[in-house]
C-alpha cells in the first residue's frame, strides 16, 4: 500500500512527526512490547485517549494491517504512525522531566524494583506529561533499556518492577501470564465483611473494560467480560471498615477496585469506584479518621529471578498516612501492627534514586 504525503523513517527511540507519516521498524529494544505502550513512548506528550483513538480508527498499522491495543510487537514489524496533530504536543516533548526520587527495594543488572508513592503515574499520558518510567529514564540517560514489567494505578502505592534487559522483560512477562508471580495488596474498605465468608473470600467475576466519552478508562462486572479472579483475606476489621489482603490470580485493569465495589466494599478514597461522599468527608482537614488518598498498597511481590532462577520476595512497608488511618480506626496511638514479616524478603536496602 502506497502511503500518501510525506513519509519519515524513524528509529524506535525517535519521537514521531506532527506533520507526516512515520514508519518505524521494530528492533530488539521494542520487540515484545504492547503497541499502546510503545506509542505512548514515541508519541511523547500525546494524551492516552488520542493514542487509543488512532488505534481504534486503524490509522496505526503494523505490517500494513490493523491491530488492537493489546498487540505485542515482534522484531522486524513495520509500524505506520499517522501525523500526530494534538495541541501543545510539541511543547510537551520539550518539557523538562523532573528528577526522580524513588526508594529502591532491589536492583541488579537485570531488574529494578522500587517503592512507588501514591499520586505518581507509572507513565505519561491522559493529561500526565511524565510518569515513573520517564523520570527514571531521565535520571539514567546511560541506560540502554528500561521498561515497566507491570503497572500500578496512579493512586496505588507500593512495589513496582522494571526490566533492564529485553530478556528479563520477556521472562517476567511469561511468569505473569503463567500466574507464577505472587502479587499481594493491602486495601482498606468501607462496609461490613460478611460473617459467613470466614476470613477468605474468592471473587471470580468477569470484567469488561470500556471508555467514557472523554477517553477515560472504566471497568465493570459483565458476564461476557474477561475471566478475573481475586482472593481477599481478612486482616482486621472495625465497625464499618475492614483491612484486607488482596491476592491477584489474574491481572485485569482496576481488578481489585471493581471486585471490591461489586462486593459492596468500596476502597477508601477510590475516586472511580468508591463511596464519593465518604471519600470527601475523610479528606476534610482534621477528619478522624482521615485519609486523602486511595488506600490500596502493593505491599508484596514474589517471583523467580529471570536470570538466576532464585526465588525473590520484595516488600514495601505500608505508607505513613495509611498506618495513621489504621491507628485511628483501631483507636490506638501506635501503628504498624499489621505489617508483615520481612524474614523471607531478599532486599538490598532502600536507597533513593
SS3 track for 253-291: CCHHHHHHHHCCCCECCCCCCCCHHHHHHHCCCCCCCCC
Percent of the chain whose pLDDT exceeds 70 = 83
Q: Compute φ and ψ for 221, nearest 5 degrees.
A: -70, 130
What integer pLDDT is reported at residue 208 of this predicted model? 96
Contact 267, 274 (CB under 8 A): yes
* pLDDT average, residue stretch 172-176: 95
Q: pLDDT digit string (tens) for 5-37?
A: 445 566 655 667 667 889 999 988 788 888 988
Please give the residue that has the higher pLDDT: either 66 or 10.
66
207 three-class SS: strand
Domains and CATH numbers, the chain: 7-93 (3.10.290.10), 103-352 (3.30.2350.10)
* pLDDT average, residue stretch 45-71: 88
- The mean pLDDT value of the chain amounts to 86
> Residue 98: is its pLDDT beyond 70?
no
What integer pLDDT is reported at residue 2 of this predicted model? 38
> What band does 3 get if pLDDT is binned at 50, 70 and 90?
very low
What integer pLDDT is reported at residue 285 of this predicted model? 86
Contact 110, 165 (CB under 8 A): yes
What integer pLDDT is reported at residue 53 of this predicted model? 86
What integer pLDDT is reported at residue 47 of this predicted model? 80
Which pTM does this prediction carry? 0.74
> What band does 213 get if pLDDT is binned at 50, 70 and 90?
confident
Distance CA 224, CA 221 (A): 9
* pLDDT average, residue stretch 307-329: 96
> What band does 85 get if pLDDT is binned at 50, 70 and 90?
low
Distance CA 268, CA 240 (A): 11
Contact 204, 193 (CB under 8 A): no
> What band does 95 get if pLDDT is binned at 50, 70 and 90?
low
> What band does 134 get if pLDDT is binned at 50, 70 and 90?
confident
> Residue 268: is its pLDDT beyond 50?
yes
> Residue 345: is its pLDDT beyond 60?
no
Window from 94-103, 121-130, 260-269, 301-310 with minimum mean pLDDT: 94-103
Catalytic pick from 36, 77, 115, 153? 153
72 three-class SS: strand
Q: Any residues with CB less than 8 A from the CB of 11 and at least 6 apart, and which? A: 24, 27
> Residue 296: is its pLDDT beyond 60?
yes
Window from 6-15, 79-88, 178-187, 248-257 with minimum mean pLDDT: 6-15
Window from 89-98, 238-247, 272-281, 317-326 with minimum mean pLDDT: 89-98
Distance CA 32, CA 51 (A): 19
Window from 71-85, 103-117, 162-176, 254-268 with minimum mean pLDDT: 71-85
Residue with cell 520476595: 313
* pLDDT average, residue stretch 212-234: 93
* pLDDT average, residue stretch 310-326: 97
What integer pLDDT is reported at residue 192 of this predicted model? 94
Contact 120, 111 (CB under 8 A): no
Distance CA 293, CA 119 (A): 8
What integer pLDDT is reported at residue 118 of this predicted model? 95
* pLDDT average, residue stretch 78-84: 90
**Known catalytic membership, residue 270:** no
> What band does 335 get if pLDDT is binned at 50, 70 and 90?
very low
Please give the residue that has the higher pLDDT: either 109 or 19.
109
Amino acid at each position: 500500500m502506497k502511503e500518501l504525503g510525506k513519509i519519515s523513517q524513524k528509529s524506535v527511540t525517535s519521537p514521531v512527526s506532527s506533520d507526516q507519516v512515520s514508519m518505524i521498524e521494530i528492533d530488539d529494544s521494542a520487540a515484545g512490547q504492547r503497541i499502546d505502550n510503545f506509542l505512548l513512548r514515541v508519541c511523547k506528550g500525546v494524551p492516552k485517549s488520542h493514542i487509543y483513538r488512532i488505534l481504534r480508527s486503524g490509522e496505526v498499522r503494523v505490517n500494513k494491517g490493523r491491530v488492537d491495543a493489546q498487540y505485542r510487537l515482534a522484531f522486524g514489524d513495520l509500524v505506520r504512525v499517522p501525523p500526530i496533530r494534538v495541541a501543545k504536543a510539541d511543547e510537551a516533548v520539550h518539557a523538562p522531566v523532573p528528577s526522580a526520587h524513588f526508594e529502591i527495594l532491589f536492583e541488579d543488572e537485570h531488574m529494578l524494583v522500587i517503592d512507588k508513592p501514591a499520586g505518581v503515574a507509572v507513565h505519561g499520558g491522559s493529561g500526565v506529561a511524565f510518569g515513573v518510567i520517564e523520570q527514571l529514564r531521565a535520571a539514567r540517560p546511560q541506560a540502554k533499556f528500561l521498561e515497566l514489567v507491570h503497572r500500578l494505578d496512579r493512586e496505588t502505592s507500593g512495589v513496582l518492577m522494571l526490566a533492564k534487559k529485553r530478556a528479563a522483560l520477556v521472562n517476567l512477562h511469561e511468569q505473569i501470564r503463567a500466574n507464577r508471580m505472587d502479587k499481594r495488596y493491602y486495601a482498606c474498605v468501607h462496609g461490613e465483611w460478611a460473617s459467613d465468608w470466614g476470613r477468605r473470600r474468592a471473587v471470580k467475576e468477569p470484567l469488561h473494560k470500556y471508555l467514557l466519552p472523554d477517553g477515560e478508562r472504566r471497568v465493570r462486572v459483565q458476564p461476557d467480560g474477561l475471566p478475573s479472579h481475586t482472593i481477599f483475606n481478612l486482616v482486621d476489621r472495625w465497625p464499618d471498615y475492614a483491612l484486607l489482603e488482596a491476592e491477584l490470580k489474574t491481572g485485569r485493569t482496576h481488578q481489585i477496585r471493581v471486585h471490591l465495589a461489586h462486593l459492596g466494599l468500596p476502597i477508601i478514597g477510590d475516586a472511580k469506584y468508591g463511596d464519593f461522599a465518604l471519600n470527601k468527608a475523610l479528606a476534610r482537614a482534621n477528619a478522624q479518621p482521615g485519609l486523602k488518598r486511595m488506600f490500596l498498597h502493593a505491599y508484596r511481590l514474589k517471583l523467580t529471578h529471570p536470570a538466576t532462577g532464585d526465588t525473590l520476595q520484595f516488600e514495601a512497608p505500608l505508607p505513613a498516612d495509611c498506618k495513621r488511618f489504621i491507628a485511628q480506626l483501631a483507636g490506638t496511638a501506635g501503628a504498624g501492627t499489621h505489617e508483615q514479616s520481612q524474614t523471607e524478603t531478599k532486599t538490598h536496602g532502600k536507597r533513593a534514586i
